[in-house]
Amino acid sequence: MNGRMHNATPELEICLKRGPSGLGFNIVGGTDQQYISNDSGIYVTKIKEQGAAALDGRLQEGDRILAINGCELQNLSHQEAVELFRTAGEDVRLRVLQGHSAQMNGPAGSRGGAEPSVLLLGVLAVSGALALAAMVYLRFRHRIGMR
């Protein structure tokens, strides 16, 4: 064993026909807008209902797009990648790395793990409010005639 992790994530070739609303998915990433820490790859963030990608069914949110029509997407800015998609023609061939998981830089709604933090903050806030109310009650109960 050489100490490196073996990446068993499958590569897939997907051919899509551009529909009335384009290819039917949104992308993020690029050298200027890294979506994953230390990674300038282009990633799928949303599959649009009834779009070409959704109807095909193989492309998934979180997949990394490696190439479009044979053109590698390495070391491109986000706008350069968008332009490649925009000018790719009606029949588009994608080479995709499926199921890529890493630390996301994107919006909290696009990352896993946000809900437990919010829940914990809510529990702490309620607990703090109850403790404060109990202290106020104990300190001032004699003023309202209770002993």
Query: pTM to 2 decimals?
Result: 0.63
Q: What's the CA gap between 89 and 99, in Å, rounded?
A: 26
pLDDT in tens, 32-82: 988 888 899 999 999 999 899 999 999 999 999 999 999 999 999 999 999
Amino acid present at 147:
R
Q: What is the pLDDT of residues 86-123, one digit of tens each?
A: 999 999 999 999 976 544 455 433 433 334 455 666 67
- CA dist 24 and 18 (Å) reads 8
